[in-house]
């Protein structure tokens, strides 16, 4: 399989990331009309006690280096947000939704399963964990633009 230029760039970055520490930052939406929405930032840092920054990633020629990356960009090509309550879909992002919002315990259980799956996928790709088997595909995602979809 041959990678395109973006794929080659990501592969070079992943190889360089092996020398960095990995932190997970759960970022919730601060907007009152988006209660229950969150994403995950994967923060790469040379210093294991104090990452240089949690803000926007610095873009450098050739490799990305330290800083946060949205988990959606590391497992796919788009940003990903989890929705713990039934609300409007995000624009130009992947929207994780549970199979049903009827049972709050089931919503949390499915969200935790999906977060774990994505985190494990990223940790395998970064070389932090050995890949014993292919990571399962993420379920419950809909690319949304406009009306609600599952």
- What are the pLDDT digits (tens) for 68-104? 888 988 888 788 999 999 998 777 788 999 999 999 9
Q: Per the domain annotation, does 19 fall within a domain? A: yes
* pLDDT > 90 fraction of the chain, expressed in percent and rounded: 27
Q: Per the domain annotation, does 9 fall within a domain? A: yes
Q: Per the domain annotation, does 150 fall within a domain? A: no
What pLDDT is stored for residue 3 in this prediction? Answer: 56
Q: Per the domain annotation, does 22 fall within a domain? A: yes
Q: Per the domain annotation, does 149 fall within a domain? A: no
Compute how many other C-beta atoms are within 10 angstroms of the C-beta atom of residue 131: 12
Q: What is the DSSP letter of 17?
A: H
What pLDDT is stored for residue 73 in this prediction? Answer: 85
**CA 95 from centroid of its chain's CA atoms:** 11
Highest-scoring range by mean pLDDT, 66-70, 94-98, 129-133, 138-142:
94-98
How confident is the prediction for the chain on average, in pLDDT? 76
Q: Each residue of 26-57: pLDDT tens digit?
A: 989 889 888 999 999 888 888 778 777 666 54
CB 85 within 8 A of CB 101: yes
What pLDDT is stored for residue 18 in this prediction? Answer: 59
The number of domains in the chain is 1
Q: Per the domain annotation, does 100 fall within a domain? A: yes
Give the list of residues 6+ apart from residue 120 with CB closer than 8 angstroms, or none.
129, 135
Mean pLDDT of the region 60-70: 65
Q: Per the domain annotation, does 15 fall within a domain? A: yes
Position 58 pLDDT exceeds 80: no
Q: Domain span at residue 132? A: 5-144
Query: Which of the four pLDDT bands, split at 50, 70 and 90, describes residue 61?
Result: very low
Position 136 pLDDT exceeds 60: no
- Tokens representing 79 are 């940003």
Q: Shortest CA distance to 48 belongs to which of 12, 19, 16?
A: 19
What pLDDT is stored for residue 118 in this prediction? Answer: 95
Residues forming a β-bridge with 24: 42
- Using DSSP, how many helices (H) and how many strands (E) does the chain show? 3, 6
């Amino acid at each position: 399989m041959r990678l395109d230029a973006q794929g080659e760039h990501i592969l070079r970055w992943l190889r360089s990331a092996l020398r960095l520490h990995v932190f997970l930052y759960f970022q919730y939406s601060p907007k009152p009309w988006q209660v229950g929405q969150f994403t995950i930032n994967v923060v790469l840092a040379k210093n294991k006690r104090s990452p240089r920054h949690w803000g926007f990633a610095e873009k450098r020629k050739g490799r990305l280096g330290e800083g946060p990356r949205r988990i959606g960009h590391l497992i796919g090509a788009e940003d990903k947000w989890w929705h713990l309550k039934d609300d409007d879909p995000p624009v130009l992002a992947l929207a994780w939704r549970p199979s049903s919002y009827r049972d709050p315990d089931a919503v949390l259980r499915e969200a935790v399963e999906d977060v774990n799956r994505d985190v494990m996928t990223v940790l395998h790709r970064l070389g932090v964990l050995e890949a014993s088997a292919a990571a399962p595909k993420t379920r419950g995602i809909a690319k949304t633009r406009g009306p609600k979809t599952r």
